[in-house]
Amino acid sequence: MSLAANVVVTLLALIHVYILVLEMFLWDKPAGLRAFGLSKELASATKVLGANQGLYNGFLAAGLLWGLWLGDEGFGVKVFFLLCIWIAGLYGAATAARKILYVQTVPATVGLVLLFLARAA
Domain edges within the chain: 3-120
3 state SS of 117:
helix
Q: State the angle between helix axes of 3-25 and 75-95 in degrees (0 to 180), rounded to the nearest 10.
A: 50
Question: In the 3-class helix/strand/coil scheme, how is 47-112 assigned residue by residue?
Answer: HHHHHHHHHHHHHHHHHHHHHHHCHHHHHHHHHHHHHHHHHHHHHHHHHCCCHHHHHHHHHHHHHH
What does the alpha-carbon distance between residue 39 and residue 120 come to, in Å, rounded to a whole number? Answer: 48
In b/e form, how buried is each residue of 47-68, taking b as 16+ CB within 10 angstroms? Answer: beebeebbeebbebbebbbebb
pLDDT at 121: 84
25 CB-contact burial (10 Å; exposed 0-12 / middle 13-18 / buried 19+): middle
Q: How many Å apart are CA 119 and CA 29, to the nearest integer?
A: 43
What integer pLDDT is reported at residue 63 of this predicted model? 98
**What averages of pLDDT result for each successive group of 10 residues across the chain (121 residues)?**
92 97 98 96 98 97 98 97 97 94 96 96 84
